């Protein structure tokens, strides 16, 4: 009978050890083992992006990663986006542009946008829409989300942190 595996990773800047079963997804580990419930489950099959986290600099769907694969990896989840001084400009822009309704998709969008703006600080609207094709939202119709991303991009340029 497969036992639990000891995994060491760095999550939101902190070295983290956890035990998990090989069959558990990274999403399950984050939510059920580590109580990092900000990362959401939508489809559990890679289609909706609600479970998006950053793993070694790339966004991935944590429902399509095994928890044991996080060994030695650097992870950022939605809990790692805001700083002690307050919300990240992306989060602020989502609030100001009313870019969420039920909010289930929001953590995944914000994490995906963070990875985009870290790499490409001034994306075009088309680039934003393309980057976010793997994130689904059933409520907003996307326009307000895209507006928030462009808004956050401008604000970050104006006052880099």
Partner 1 sequence: MKEIDYAVPKSVSETVSLLAEKGNQARCLAGGTDLLVQLRGGRRSVELVVDIKEVPEANHLSYDPQKGLEIGSAVPCYRIYQDEAIANAYPGLIDAAAMIGGIQIQGRASLGGNLCNAAPSADGIPPLIVLESTCVIAGPNGTREMPVEDFCTAPGRNAMQDNEFLVSLRIPSPKQRQGANYLRFIPRNEMDIAVAGVGSSVVLSADKNSIESARISLASVAPTPLFVKEAGDALAGKAITEEAIEAAAQAAMAAAKPITDMRGTIRQRRHLVGVLTRRTLQGAIERAKEA
The residues of the shown chain that bind ligand FAD, judged by CB under 6 A, are: 45-47
Query: Whole-number minimum distance, CB 58 to ligand FES, in Å?
Result: 15
Helix residue ranges, H only, the chain = 26-28, 89-96, 106-119, 125-131, 143-158
Q: Which of 61, 33, 128, 55 is nearest to 90 (CA)?
A: 128
Q: Tell how far CA 100 is from the center of its chain.
A: 15
Q: How far apart are CA 141 and CA 17, in angstroms?
A: 39
- Over the window 27 to 66, marking each residue x when it contacts partner 1 by CB under 8 A and - when it does not, the resulting string is -----------------xxxx-x--x--x--xxxx-xxxx
Query: Whole-number minimum distance, CB 51 to ligand FAD, in Å?
Result: 12
Among positions 97-126, residues that touch partner 1 (CB under 8 A) are 112
Counting contacts by CB under 6 A, is residue 38 touching ligand FES? no
Range 116-142 burial, b when 16+ CB lie within 10 A, else e: bbeeeeebeeeebeebbebbbbeebeb
Tell me whether residue 5 or residue 139 sits nearer to ligand FES (CB atom): 139
Tell me whether residue 41 or residue 160 sits nearer to ligand FES (CB atom): 41
Which positions lie near ligand FES, rule CB under 6 A?
41-44, 46-51, 61, 63, 100-105, 137-140
């Amino acid at each position: 009978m497969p036992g639990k595996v000891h995994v060491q990773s760095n999550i939101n800047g902190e070295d983290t050890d956890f035990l998990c079963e090989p069959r558990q997804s990274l999403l399950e580990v984050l939510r059920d083992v580590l109580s990092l419930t900000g990362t959401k489950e939508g489809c559990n099959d890679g289609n909706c992006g609600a479970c998006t986290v950053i793993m070694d600099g790339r966004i991935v769907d944590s429902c399509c990663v095994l928890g044991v694969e996080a060994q030695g990896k650097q992870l950022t989840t939605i809990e790692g986006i805001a700083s002690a001084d307050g919300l990240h400009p992306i989060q602020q822009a989502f609030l100001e542009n009313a870019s969420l309704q039920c909010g289930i998709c929001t953590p995944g969008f914000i994490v995906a946008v963070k990875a985009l703006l870290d790499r490409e600080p001034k994306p075009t609207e088309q680039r934003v829409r393309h980057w976010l094709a793997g994130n689904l939202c059933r409520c907003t119709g996307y326009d307000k989300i895209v507006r928030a991303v462009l808004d956050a991009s401008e604000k970050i340029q104006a006052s880099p942190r």
